[in-house]
Structure 1
Amino acid sequence: VEREEMKMQFALLGLYYTDGFNFFRLLDIEKNKTLGIDQFVMGCLRLKGGALLIDNNILVEDTKTLVMSMGRAHQRAIDNIASLMQNISDKVSELEHDQRQRRDLRKSTSRRS
């Protein structure tokens, strides 16, 4: 697929690409790293009716993957921050409770004296 003759034959069919690996990656709709003849033909027909350059489709797919990955990473970060904030809140509550107990103990001790 990287040979110029193959690129020219695909160009005659209306399919233009610069990177054979990404071309086949785009044809692999099921994302299982295998490409049967039916999937190859249907993928070529789908791409022929789409963008002029297959590289644009690859960029779109890569962008979608990146956005999803970043969304998951951001959600994990938000969850982590929420957990840390809850821990801090729990510690502050404990400290306030301990402080009230000490204050009450001092008051009761000073009344006895």
Structure 2
Amino acid sequence: MKLKTRFQKPCMELRIRCWRLHMKPKDKVVETTQQAKGAVDGALGNKKEEVAQKGRHLKESAKEYLDKAKDSVGTAKDTAEMARCHILNNCTEKIKMARENAEEAKEAREKT
């Protein structure tokens, strides 16, 4: 049985056939496997970076909310302090006025 090839020697023909049948598919499988592995690694790397970015974004958002909360607490404390001072000032003024009125009333009673 003679095959039509460009080589005339059967051993060369056999080598070529073996190379074509066995080596090329293996090389293709290895290359395809490496490409798939590279694609998976790339996808995982992208996913890790994406998750890290989301984590950083959430961390920054949390910091902003914490700062806003601290500002709100500070504002509330300032408002409470102002209200307390206002109440104290009003109360002390009213107490002074009441004392003055009591003294005037006492003097008026003594005069009559």
Same fold (TM over 0.5): yes
- SS, match of residue 100 in structure 2: helix
TM-superposed CA distance for 1:57, in Å, is 1.7
Unaligned runs of 5+ in 1: 1-8, 18-47
Q: TM-score normalised to the size of structure 2?
A: 0.56
Matched, 1:99 2:109: no
CA RMSD of aligned residues (A): 2.5
Letter in 1 for 2:104: L
Unaligned runs of 5+ in 2: 1-38
Matched, 1:16 2:47: yes
Letter in 2 for 1:105: E
How many residues are treated as equivalent by the alignment? Answer: 72
Q: Corresponding residue for 2:84?
A: 85
Flag the structure with higher helix content.
2
Looking at structure 1, the residues matched to 110 and 65 of structure 2 have their Cα atoms a distance apart, in angstroms, of 67
- SS, match of residue 47 in structure 2: coil
Looking at structure 1, the residues matched to 83 and 76 of structure 2 have their Cα atoms a distance apart, in angstroms, of 10
The range that moved more, 76-85 or 51-60, is 51-60
Letter in 2 for 1:86: C
TM-superposed CA distance for 1:96, in Å, is 0.2
The range that moved more, 53-62 or 72-81, is 53-62
The percentage of counterpart residues that share the same residue type is: 14
TM-superposed CA distance for 1:82, in Å, is 0.7
Looking at structure 1, the residues matched to 103 and 55 of structure 2 have their Cα atoms a distance apart, in angstroms, of 71
TM-superposed CA distance for 1:16, in Å, is 2.6
Looking at structure 2, the residues matched to 85 and 16 of structure 1 have their Cα atoms a distance apart, in angstroms, of 54
Q: TM-score normalised to the size of structure 1?
A: 0.55
- Structure of larger gyration radius: 2
